[in-house]
Structure formats: structure tokens, C-alpha cells
Amino acid sequence: MTTDSLKEIHSIERLLIESANSECTLGNETQTLSDNEINEKYLKGEVRIVTEQARYPLETIPKLFSHANYYLTPDFQRRHRWNDGRKSRLIESFIMNVPIPPIFLYETDFNKYEVMDGLQRITAIKDFYNDSFSLQELEYWPELNGRKYSTLPEQIKKGIDRRYLSSVILLKETAKTREDEDKLKQLVFERINSGGVKLEYQESRNALYPSDFNKYIVKLSRYDKFCDIFNIPSRTIDEDLENDRIGEELLNNRTFSSMKDVEIVLRFFALRCMDSWKDGLSLNKFLDLFAKNAKRINGDSRMKLLGEMFKESIDLSYAIYGEYTFCMWKKMKSTSEFKWTNEPNMVIYDPIMQVVSNHLQDNEKIITNKDAIFQKTKELFENEPTLFNGRNTNVTYIKTRKEHFEKIISDCL
């Protein structure tokens, strides 16, 4: 990277560090209100959500939610998908008239909606009426296994058709500004997902801190070399994450489906702003704080610069370590011999990427001396095994590991 590019990146990072430090200071301030002031706040309707409810006959779902007025893939939707067995059990619940939780919609404009919660239920119903799967794994109606909607007995079809899917709609009147709208969606998403299947940390961040930067790191997570290192299926020709065109192999990849891949990219940028990591803050809370402030990163040129730095850092790391990139040289309990582990590890990824990204201008020298760097890395693992314990994720350990790798690179240049 050029000197000017690196200067621009440093200015972006300083902005984020200052913003995070300011927020931490403001966050320590508390506001005390009297009972009268609290009552007045309530009567004014502050922090009060305007909703209405609706019920949709199941047979209308495919047509209704295929309409342009309904946006089914907003940023806060999760990546994993229901398999046919789980879809079938939902249909069995409708047959038995088991109460189904409502879906949540947000009215982005008059009569235009985002699906905040319930996408999987909507998709399952649409697929069922479109004969896209056969019922399976039914517990109380096993005699219907193998049937599609079109082949069900007439009375069963009529019974399903008279069921409804309930919804709670958050009306546009609730939020007066775009900022209020974002806060409202974040609040509701967090509350309605406080039960059920636990959200992964990055799934929450993706929903709670939407930004152009967040969308960009989702794209960066599909960088070919990055995917190769972390055993994530590479991009296909027809892949389109924004429009939910994702292959089954990718969806079944745990790193992708949990959004761990996006978190790994986020870690790189966040840890370059470690000066805003305050004592007592966990790694996940620090990543939350960075993701929240990353909305200050704007402009295609800035995004491109950051993306180039990430890709070049990945490439340089691979040029040094090859198939063992971000893996650990570890003593095996069974043989007492040292061997490379098979999977990349965050306690290795973090310091290597931090150090390498600070030496991109030394690319050629580093590659020339890669054998020496490789050997010194093995020696570090042998001499400091406890330093790379995965449970040690506080800022002190991360900085110490970074210092060790910095010495390795500096000594070899």
C-alpha cells in the first residue's frame, strides 16, 4: 500500500478511537429524574411503540409476501435456514392448531414492510403451498409424510387453509427520524430475540449496528483467500448474498451460517483500534462498541482502502505460512511431539494480522525472509505455550501476543 493510503487509514482509525473513547465517557454518566419528570416522560409518549395487529390466511401468504411491498431479507435476518423437517413440523402445528408466535413487521413507508422476525415461518409456508418440499419427520401425523400440499387429502388441505399467521406491525408513526427508526428496530429486534434460539454475537451486531461498513465487511468475508484459509466454500457464479441466493454447501458451513466469518473480519479492523479498548471490557463488548462506531466510516474510497489493507494482510500472511496460516504449532499429548494444528485459531490470527498489516510496505522483504519468520514462529509456540491459551482473550494478552510477533517480523527485516 502507498504511504498516502496508510495515512488515510490511520486518520479513519483515529476518528473511531476518539469516538469510542467519547462514548465510553458519556456512557458512565447517569441521569436522575424525579417522579414528576418520569410521569411527564411517559405521558409525552417517549419510547413508546405504535403497533397494530393483522392476521393472514395461510393460503394468501405466498402471493402476499412475494409482493414488492414486503422486504424479506433486511440486514437483521439470520443466515441459517430451516431444513424440510423443521418446515414440516410447522405445517403439522397448523394442522393441529397449535398456537404459533406472531411474526414482526416494520412499516418502513406507508404500506411497505420489512420482516423483522418470522422469515423462516413465512418461507416455510410459501414453500409448502408451492409444493417445494414433501412433508417429513411428522410426529403426530406420520401418515402424511411424503405428501406435498397438492397431494394432501381434501379435508386436511381445507383445515390448513383456514388457519392464520398472526403479525405485529410496528407502524411508521413510531419513529420521527431515520435515527429514531434505526434505534427502534435495534431495540425491538434485541427484545424479541431474547428467547428461543440464542443469537450468535455477530448475528446480533449485524442487526443492532447496521452501517455501510457492516455491509462492506460482509462482502469482504467472501474474499477467496480468506475463505480458503478458514475452510469456507468459495463464491459461486450465481451467488448473491443481498438477494438471498446462497448455495446449500455454503449455508451448511458453520462458520458462514453463524456469521463467524464476518466477525473474524470485524476483529481485524477493531483490534487495529485497540487504544479504545478499556480495562474491564470483554472482547465481545469491545467488538460491539467498534461495530456501533463503524457507521462513521463512509464513502466508497475509504471502504476500498480498508478492504485493500485487509486483503493484502491476508495474502501476506499466507505467503509466509502457507497451509499453516493462523494455525498453531502445538505439543501433542499422545506423542509429546510438536505438530501443526489443522484449524486456524483466533489467538494466532489476531496478532499476525495486526503485525503484518503494519508492515505491508515491507512486503518484499518479509517474503524474502519468510523461512526465518516461519521458524521463529515455531520457536515462539514452543517457548510460550501458555501465551496462546484460547481462554486468554483480554486486551493484555492480545497486546502481548502482538508484541511477540512484532519482534519476530522486526528481527527478520
- Report strand pairing: 338-340 vs 329-331: antiparallel
Sheet holding 164-170, edge to edge: 51-57, 164-170, 103-109, 112-117, 70-71
**pLDDT tens-digit series, residues 38-93:** 777 776 665 667 889 999 999 999 999 999 898 877 666 667 678 899 999 999 99
Domain boundary among 170, 193, 225: 170
**pLDDT tens-digit series, residues 111-166:** 899 888 888 899 999 999 999 999 999 999 999 999 999 999 999 999 999 999 99
User: Is position 96 within any domain?
Assistant: yes
The amino acid at 245: R
Cell triple for residue 75? 440486514
User: Is position 382 within any domain?
Assistant: yes
User: Looking at the structure, do residues 266 and 162 belong to the same domain, yes or no?
Assistant: no
Residue 27: predicted pLDDT:
45
Residue 46: predicted pLDDT:
59
Cell triple for residue 50? 405504535
Domain span at 71: 51-170
pLDDT-derived band at 204, boundaries 50, 70, 90: confident
Find the range with the poorest average confidence among 21-25, 104-108, 173-177, 223-227. Answer: 21-25
pLDDT-derived band at 21, boundaries 50, 70, 90: confident
pLDDT-derived band at 110, boundaries 50, 70, 90: confident
Cell triple for residue 204? 446480533
User: Is position 280 within any domain?
Assistant: yes
User: Looking at the structure, do residues 8 and 149 belong to the same domain, yes or no?
Assistant: no
User: Looking at the structure, do residues 151 and 284 belong to the same domain, yes or no?
Assistant: no
Rounded Cα distance, 393 and 349, in Å: 13
Q: What is the number of domains present in the chain?
A: 2
**pLDDT tens-digit series, residues 227-237:** 999 999 988 88
Specify the long-range contacts of residues 187-191, CB closer than 8 Å, at least 24 apart. 188/49, 188/104, 188/106, 188/116, 189/76, 189/116, 189/117
Indicate the pTM of the whole model.
0.78
206-231 core/surface letters (b: 16 or more CB in 10 A; e: else): bbbbbbebbebbbebbbbeebbebbe
